Amino acid sequence: MKLFYDFHIHSCLSPCGDEDSTPNNIVNMALIKGLNVIALADHNTGKNCPAAMAVGKKNGLVVLPGMELTTAEDIHVLCLFERYEDLQKLEAHIARTRLRVKNKPHIFGRQRILDENDEPIGEEEDLLIVSSGVSVEEAAGLVAGFGGIAIPAHIDKPANSLLAVLGAFDPSLGFTLVECAREGVVDLPRIVDSDAHYLWDIAEAEHWIEADTCSAHGVFAALRRMAERK
């Protein structure tokens, strides 16, 4: 079946994410846009994924747990999972390597953790938009080891992308799927996402993935098939 997607959406947990980008607002906007599946991908954390997944389940929207990893080189890598428990393991590993810099909400923005009713249950004190100790050379294998798929994010953008930082795409890095708005940038399967930091930036029902079922398992299996199709 054809499922319309946006696998790269930031919530209010990302300091650069809008305060209105709560789990309920994100899910409802995705439904208004006609999407079938989304993924939350905050910077170096997935702590708002449980709430978004719960809201999505209630409203008939598949929500994959995800994260936008910042490598040691300042390259953004989209990390998608079928199960939140696997994402938690990756996050714990990243947290041990990440630079410890206290967030200054008045400068960078708040980093709010919400429940499925959009009520605050915590706030990240350390700034999330910093480099981790995970190198780009180890990212693909590390994420796969925790059961996920690592996808170089927005590779056609001039900042924090693999091509912008390294200058070229190196197949030996192990990535088999990329996030890119333009065709033909690299010779790999691609997904096209919004990287939305505001509700109105969430993608329209334009890009789709062919999956066996409209479920987290079905969508993740479809992504794996794409990643294996070189």
**Structural domain boundaries of the chain?**
2-228
**What is the pLDDT confidence band of residue 229, given thresholds at 50, 70 and 90?**
confident
CA distance 128 to 43: 6
CATH architecture of the domain 2-228 equals: Alpha-Beta Barrel (3.20)
Nearest-angstrom CA–CA distance, 11 and 42: 6
Separation CA 135–CA 12 (nearest Å): 26
Residue 150 pLDDT greater than 60, yes or no: yes
184 pLDDT tier (thresholds 50, 70, 90): confident
What confidence score (pLDDT) does residue 230 get? Answer: 57
63-86 tens-digit pLDDT:
999 999 999 999 999 999 999 999
Is residue 212 over pLDDT 90?
A: yes
- For the cut 90, the answer to whether the pLDDT of residue 10 exceeds it is yes
